[in-house]
Amino acid sequence: MIRELRAFGGWLLFAVYVYAAYHLAVLPLAWTDGFAGLAVAAAGTVGLLGLAPAEARRRGIAFAFLVLFADRALAATGLYPAAARVALAALVIGLTVLVGRAAGRLPAPALLALAAAAALSTAIDRPDAKLLGRFLPPVRTPALYGAGTIDYFPLFLDPDHPGRVVTFGNREEVPPEGKEAKDAAETGGDAGPEGEATRLALARLAPERLYVYAFDTEGGTFRRVAVPDAEVARWFEKLRNDFPGYPFFTVEDDGTLRPLVTRDAWAETLFDFGRTFGALLRLDALHLRRPIAAPDVGGPFAGLRLTGEALEGTFDGRPFRLPTDATAVVGRFSLGGEAALVLQGRSLEIAVFPKGGAPQVSHRLSPASIPDIYASEVIPVQFSDGPALLLSFPTDSPERAKIVRPEPDGSWRLLFEATDPLFRFEDVRYDGAQAVLLALAPGRLSGYPQRLLGEYIYENGRLVRLWQAPTSLINVRYLPGPNGTWRLVATEYPNHRLVLLTPHPLPVGAMIAAATGLIAVGLLVRRLRDGRVPQDLTPDRSAQDGSAFRRRAGAVGLSAAVLSAALLAGAAFPVVLRSAPSARPPGVLPSVAAAGADGGAPAANLPAAGEPALDLSAEQAPGAGRAGAAGPATGAPEAEAPIEGAGTETPAARALVDARAAFRAALAGSEGEGADRFQVVGYTRNSVHKRKTTSMVSGAVVRPERLFGGMRLAGTPYRYYRSGDVCYLWTARTEWVPLPPADPPALFRSLEALMPEFAAAERLPDGDVLGLPAKVYRIRVNGETLFRLAGIAPDDAAFRAFAALPATITVKLLDDPARIGEIEGRWLVPVPGAGYALQEVFFRFFHYGDPSIAIRPPEDIERYLAP
């Protein structure tokens, strides 16, 4: 009995070793060091297997494989309800034991240890296991938001209450997924107009109330605390300036998340291809009507307000007005001992406030230096040798994260540039005078890279990595603790949960290496003991056994050498590869000159009215390589690609041609004979820093009266159906509901408003649409033209602000017969409180006249309507 218990304990310890080595050594080596890391892990495995006797080797391989198989299979059971999860877990463990007995020939103690290890692995969520090398098991809140109609919410630290984090949600106040409203709609379906109206409101997109969720994190847990009414408005203002769901949603003073469109109205807009451009701009104008409120940066600054033309406020009690087109105040800065502010608009500016003089813009980093500077997220940092700015860019931008420093002569020095576009800075803390940078880096072995959270310090043009841990969290922030300690708090999306990570001091890597060494020593001793040369055999037999012993000893020695080399390489990797070099050597960036004598930027350096903030003249054709562009075979969105024209040289100006005849012929062909039916895919995309909000359509049109689209608005799918005056809308919460009659979409007819602009079009290199040759033209228009496409009169100040907004529209025109193949528009708009946003509209039209395109009659929809 004692022998069986010892065997059971040994197998169980081996299972724990396999689990820990896989999650905390093998996978991190692969993620951080790529194939080199895998080679080290493979060498270590080969070395251990070479030391093991043949019978133990077979059993060890079978046991380790089954431990990892059970771990993976049990993690998959988490997708099912609780009752089914228990049954599936029992099934997985039972099958694992049976396979171990039948195929692996494992003894009874090993089978019991295998079952026990599989059961114990369920105590740790599989995604959390890879964090245990650096942190204690993560602590999570419940899901804080359940409606599913919006993207992630921001995360803030409360400066007045150390250790308190603030975010937003409504899960405690509103049942999950709007259950009460859905039940009321379903039970009211038989009650007549009231029930039908409730379902219609749900389907069309109704306002919903958000609440401030504040949590104290003392003791390493989340404890929700009440927020005084006087502070609630301040937090909702911060949420509004983060622009969740921009431009389709706005946040009101009481926390109501109010949609500015309905699903059916936006579906009709997406089928009115010219109107979409101006309708998107109209939503921007609605946001611009709100005053641009600057954040409270504290210190000597008070009452900051951005007007779109200047920054106003008080400094040390004295009022000031600084000319700038910035629409966001990033934060306070210190430059040469003087107080300063970092401002962001189409350019990044530093405004210095001398104690005895007028404020002035001392540094400006324009799109001429960094084309996507308007989209960067900026973190001021104070290194031991001076201040600098950390710049991070959206994942679809070709720009890489940078560290730049403003120089006394008004220029900018590049201190560091990441080698991968997915690298981004998250936060900064200070260990004495040493700045420690928190950043997310991509892993090396994945089609969609695993993000690696890590700490870095800057040294002589390089980032030195202190540690890394794989995670898919967003909005990661340092949470200061007592006595210089720290924790991390982050958002888990799309679950809308907060996660608290507390570091532990255990050297997990060294512990796994030591365990590997102990196992190797035990195997080596056993192998040598079992392979002794017998002393009582004949001379011939002794010679044969001696030769076998020498071969065995040689194999053991080689295995030991391989294992030792693997352990040494694994120990050296964090030292040798922890230094991340800059993609470019440090040097001076091209820069716009410093301030003028009036305290503001000189007129020659300010963008002229209507001047584009970045080059929108891409060599690529519309939709080519763009995120959300349709793939050639299915019409499904392709993977995201770099923003066109960013980071490249501006193409030489092309001769303008009169393309009105070609455009007129394509419009006529798209509306005429042989084009009675077609398919369309398209999207609108709004990028504000790393936040992206899209609407998409994938549908078909059968003239004269039917159209159908699978739509998506701000991440939520729905369907729109129209046959003559009969319209229906489907959502997952409401199923099909009838809509009130509405005018039919104009399809291509609204594009006729562009005809005058094609009198001076750029002729680009020929392209294709799904393999069909096409001529490509680009026109440069302004906001007034986009409004004209939508039939909107700029009748107030907010609309008139966009009248001179520069934009480009690119079309691909098919030949024989002439039709419109693709159309794409791009422009930048000011976003009050957030800088500038890049907006894109794209449509692709194909399969004109294909008889296989058919849309079912209304009767097929009506059978699904509620009685």
pLDDT digits (tens, 9 = 90+) for 300-312: 898 888 877 888 8
Alpha helices in 150-228 (DSSP H): 179-187, 193-204
pLDDT tens readout for residues 566-575:
555 554 445 4
pLDDT tens readout for residues 575-631:
444 556 667 777 776 644 333 323 333 322 323 333 333 333 333 333 333 333 333
At residue 650, does pLDDT exceed 90?
A: no
Of 13-17, 73-77, 404-408, the one with minimum mean pLDDT is: 73-77
Q: pTM above the 0.85 mark?
A: no
Q: Which of 147-156, 639-648, 855-864 has the highest mean pLDDT?
A: 855-864
Check if the beta carbon of residue 714 is closer than 8 Å to that of residue 692.
no
Of 230-234, 268-272, 500-504, the one with minimum mean pLDDT is: 230-234
Check if the beta carbon of residue 443 is closer than 8 Å to that of residue 431.
no
Q: Average pLDDT, whole number, for the chain?
A: 80
- Distance CA(165)–CA(817), nearest Å, equals 61
Of 102-116, 213-227, 806-820, the one with minimum mean pLDDT is: 102-116
Signed CA dihedral, 534, 538, 544, 546: sign only: positive
The structure tokens 């392709």 sit at 638
Check if the beta carbon of residue 470 is closer than 8 Å to that of residue 452.
yes
Check if the beta carbon of residue 365 is closer than 8 Å to that of residue 419.
no
Closest CA to 442 of 346, 580, 559: 580
> If pLDDT is split at 50, 70 and 90, which confidence band does 837 have?
confident
Query: What are the tokens at 777?
Result: 């033209």
CA end-to-end span of the chain, whole Å?
69
At 191, the amino acid letter reads A
pLDDT of residue 834: 78
DSSP state of 469: E
Q: Which of 234-248, 520-534, 562-576 has the highest mean pLDDT?
A: 234-248
pLDDT of residue 339: 92
Beta-carbon count within 10 A of 403 CB: 24
Check if the beta carbon of residue 823 is closer than 8 Å to that of residue 273.
yes
Of 194-208, 286-300, 390-404, 691-705, the one with minimum mean pLDDT is: 286-300
At 750, the amino acid letter reads S
At residue 203, does pLDDT exceed 50?
A: yes
At residue 540, does pLDDT exceed 60?
A: no
- Distance CA(362)–CA(594), nearest Å, equals 5
Check if the beta carbon of residue 213 is closer than 8 Å to that of residue 167.
yes
pLDDT of residue 640: 30
Work out whether strand 211-216 and strand 223-225 pair parallel, antiparallel, or are unpaired: antiparallel
- Distance CA(514)–CA(157), nearest Å, equals 40
pLDDT of residue 606: 28
What residue ranges do the domains of the chain occupy? 2-129+508-574
pLDDT tens readout for residues 496-519:
899 999 999 998 888 888 888 888
Of 37-46, 132-141, 340-349, 586-595, the one with minimum mean pLDDT is: 586-595
Of 49-53, 383-387, 398-402, the one with minimum mean pLDDT is: 49-53
> If pLDDT is split at 50, 70 and 90, which confidence band does 296 have?
confident
pLDDT of residue 546: 54
Of 62-66, 556-560, 710-714, the one with minimum mean pLDDT is: 556-560
Check if the beta carbon of residue 270 is closer than 8 Å to that of residue 276.
yes
Query: What are the tokens at 857?
Result: 């009659």
pLDDT of residue 346: 85
Beta bridge partners of 773: 768
Query: What are the tokens at 664?
Result: 């007129």
Of 185-189, 560-564, 696-700, 782-786, the one with minimum mean pLDDT is: 185-189
Identify each DSSP E strand in 666-760 by its residue range: 677-688, 691-702, 706-713, 716-723, 726-731, 735-739
Check if the beta carbon of residue 748 is closer than 8 Å to that of residue 671.
yes
Q: Which of 41-55, 143-157, 794-808, 839-853 has the highest mean pLDDT?
A: 839-853
Check if the beta carbon of residue 84 is closer than 8 Å to that of residue 90.
no
DSSP result, 382-415: EETTEEEEEEE--TTSSPPPEEEEE-TTS-EEEE
